[in-house]
Amino acid sequence: MNQPLNLNKDAPPLYIQVKNDLKGKIEEGHWVPGDKITSELDLCEQYQVSRTTVRDAINELVWEKFLIRKRARGTFVLDYKERSVDKDYYTYIKSYTYELNELGQTAKTYQVSLQKIKATEKLADKLNIRVGDEVVELIRVRGSENRHPAYFKTYWQYKEEFSLNPEDYYGSFYELLNEKWIVLENIQEYLEAIIPDEEVTGALNISQETPVLKRVRQARNENYTFIEYTECFYVGEDYRYYIELTKGK
């Protein structure tokens, strides 16, 4: 049985410690590909932590493709080959929350604006829908105590399963998707340096001369029933672009 984790002030967040322990068990063969892992409630008892902590740890491992959630069945270990793509190498770009966690910082959301809008021609193209279809526009200002804030504009086709309460979007958007059994499989991103416009300078409280990086993401789940389009704006001096290269087997 797992032993309760002992925290101290210098330790990473508790869910990161649970995640690392679960990841270690997968790598050591405690669970093999195809195995169903212990239920969330049992993990809470074993680790003596809250369900939110366990869920956050599992969400991280789903994002890293060590685990996969299957509706009404549970959470299972992915085969290494399933964690790779068809090419010999792949690029893994981390989420904003994950990236800050690796730096020992906690992502905070300072402002959230949420509304339903009609799809413009640009959004219809990005989301593979018709012009005029209902779209959710989620605008957030996020950051940490040691970083300038970042400005995020995220769009997806409106569906009733998504809340329109801004209070529900102060955490990680990708963890929210995982809880809804939406796993993004196809992600395309690019970065470009820009001169910030009035909207971006106002959101980030910077001057027009401040270097800004624009990061654009388009992501889909496996069967294309969910598509996300996001534009992120970062103060250049705070942002680093991490790439992990893994040789396919």
Q: Are residues 94 and 79 part of one domain? A: no
More confident of the two residues 2 and 193 = 193
Q: Are residues 230 and 115 part of one domain? A: yes
Q: Which residues pair with 155 in a beta bridge?
A: 137, 229
Which DSSP string corresponds to 25-45? HHHTTSS-TTPBPPPHHHHHH
Q: What is the mean pLDDT of residues 165-185?
A: 87
pLDDT level of residue 187 (50, 70, 90 thresholds): confident
- CB neighbours of residue 245 within 10 Å: 9
Task: Give the model's pLDDT for residue 241.
Answer: 61
Q: What is the mean pLDDT of residues 180-190?
A: 81
Q: What is the pLDDT of residues 23-74, one digit of tens each?
A: 999 989 999 999 999 999 999 999 988 888 888 788 778 877 889 888 778 8
Q: Which of 64, 83, 102 is the last residue of a domain?
A: 83
User: β-strand 150-157 against 134-143: which pairing, if any?
Assistant: antiparallel
Q: What is the mean pLDDT of residues 170-199?
A: 86
More confident of the two residues 114 and 106 = 114
- Percent of the chain scoring above 70 in pLDDT: 81
Mean pLDDT, the chain, integer: 82
Q: Are residues 115 and 40 part of one domain? A: no
- CB neighbours of residue 192 within 10 Å: 9
CATH of the domain at 57: 1.10.10.10
pTM assigned to the model: 0.62
- CB neighbours of residue 49 within 10 Å: 20
CB 64 within 8 A of CB 56: no
Q: Which of 31, 62, 83 is the last residue of a domain?
A: 83
Task: Give the model's pLDDT for residue 106.
Answer: 77
Residue 4 maps to a domain: no
More confident of the two residues 10 and 220 = 220
Q: What is the pLDDT of residues 65-111, one digit of tens each?
A: 889 888 778 899 988 655 544 333 333 445 676 666 666 677 889 99
Rounded to whole angstroms, how far apart are CA atoms 197 and 181? 36
CB 143 within 8 A of CB 127: no
What is the domain count for the chain? 2
Q: Which residues pair with 131 in a beta bridge?
A: none
CATH of the domain at 116: 3.40.1410.10
CB 163 within 8 A of CB 180: no
Q: What is the pLDDT of residues 136-145, one digit of tens each?
A: 999 999 988 7
Estimate the crossing angle of helix 40-47 against helix 14-27, to 10 degrees.
110
pLDDT level of residue 240 (50, 70, 90 thresholds): low
> Where are the alpha helices (H) located in the chain, listed in sequence order?
14-27, 40-47, 51-63, 80-83, 96-102, 121-127, 173-179, 198-204
Rounded to whole angstroms, how far apart are CA atoms 147 and 150? 9
User: β-strand 227-235 against 74-77: which pairing, if any?
Assistant: unpaired
